[in-house]
Amino acid sequence: MPVSERIAPDRIATLTRLIRTTTQESRTTISPLDGEPVAEIPVSSIEDVEAAFDAARVAQASWSQTSLRERRRALLRLHDLVLERREELLDLIQIESGKSRAHAFDEVAHLALTARYYARRLRRQMKPERRNGALPLLTSVKLNHVPKGVVGIISPWNYPLTMAISDGLPAIAAGNVVVHKPDSQSPLIALAGVELLRDAGFPADVWQVVSGAGSVVGTAIIERADYICFTGSTATGTLIAKQAAERLVSTSLELGGKNPMIVLPGADVENSAAGAVNACFSSAGQLCVSIERLYVPEAQYDAFRDAFVRRVQALSLGAGLDWDADMGSLVSQAQVETITKHVEDAVANGATVLTGGKARPDLGPFFYEPTVLEGVTDAAECFAGETFGPLVSLYPYRTVEEAVELANGGEYGLNASIYGPTRLARRIAPTIKAGTVNINEGFAASFGSIDAPMGGMRHSGVGRRQGAEGIHRYTEPQSVAVQRAMPMAGPAFLAPERYAKLLTLGMKILRRTPRA
């Protein structure tokens, strides 16, 4: 039985009605697990995008006036609903993305954590902040966090629930509204998330959904939004940044990565190997922060390689909607072709396949074995280019300084991992050019710590999700200053020269105080 039959036709109809569209056009999605059709997804027109923005701007005027208490309650209800409807969400994530159920659960947990985090901290993060005025006692300043307006979100297929909804939660919590284009491969799970928002009490027009090609619908969003949030490739992110810059609109862009892991001298080999397996092959390596490069001390290289390969070979692959498989499928034939090309190119340039290296059509149309290479040279495409699949390369190093230099190679800087003694790891972490560094963990420690900002350096993007930074990106800082007793230019009865002398004396006195 096709896995897509786990979704009833009337359920699909309920979800697709959430898309704003007036066209008769649709496209068919398929499940990576078995290649069978999942749903006919309506396609929106540019006029539909325009209508979505018109409705969103009306909604934002009233939504921005709702109390923080009301928004907080809706976020907490969302948290509860996500956990209550866990099983359907897991089914939809697996059916549309092909990942294993354990990896699908990461998304459900992350969305619930995000909702709870911003609910608990909304008042603290959004209340006006007191700042120092120019003249003590005479000048007072407060900083307001003013919502930007209508936020455009263009979300990816690889984490189709949490990247669709979690990024937008702080936007609406801050008083904005959202116009959202989920990826064409995985719209149903994003729509299920939008349904949860409405059931939690968020007004319908606060989150508008449109559907279609990025070149058409995505461009229309970029041309109208007051802020753009995008997760995807560096190439596409660069184009979006240029388009947004022409309108002087801000963006947050989480882009590509070629993420390194350093195993430090003295690290526990078995523990490091186990951590590396999770770091490299979660969601079949189709994760922006997953590890693709492993650097191991020469003295421990053979032991680590053997332990790592043994653990990789023990991974089970499967297409069932259950908890049995360790790793699921790639999302498309294009992903299969990319990893196949990278493996063949690396081997042609002298690399050795330690395990894996083959597609597995016997399991499903887009399955590919978790693959480990050694001896990869800089002539290989996968040496510095992002694979975004279950492929990792092993490299020995002689000194920790060399390992850091190798880890900082290339143009990306999204995530890094260090396994070994914590004190040494903490010391070298600031020298690594990455937006997040996980010690004795691959990526989950930073990804799951919602209070910690997350994003990239260099070609891995700009801006941060999560934490206070994740909500303040959707606001404009507005300084409101109140002047008392006399104007900044001085009282009318004092000549300018006399006032300047008094002000100079006052500034010298303030210089000697610890807080001014």
Which residues are catalytic, by number? Answer: 254, 288
Amino acid at 365: P
**Helix segments in 129-177, DSSP class H:** 162-165, 169-173
The CA–CA distances, whole Å, from 489 to 131, 175, 482, 500 equal: 21, 37, 14, 9
**Residue 399, burial from CB neighbour count under 10 angstroms (0-12, 13-18, 19+):** exposed
Alpha-carbon distance of 157 to 288, in angstroms, equals 11
**Helix segments in 314-464, DSSP class H:** 333-348, 381-384, 400-407, 422-428, 444-448
Cβ neighbours for 384, distance < 8 A, ≥ 6 positions apart: 258, 378, 409, 410, 411
How many CB atoms neighbour CB 389 within 10 A? 26
Alpha-carbon distance of 32 to 333, in angstroms, equals 9
Alpha-carbon distance of 247 to 141, in angstroms, equals 30
**Residue 283, burial from CB neighbour count under 10 angstroms (0-12, 13-18, 19+):** buried
Report helix, strand or coil for 49: helix
DSSP-assigned letters across all residues of 284-353: GG-STT-EEEEEEEHHHHHHHHHHHHHHHHT--B--SSSS--SB---SSHHHHHHHHHHHHHHHHTT-EE
Residue 344's nearest CA partner among 378, 304, 382, 309 is 382
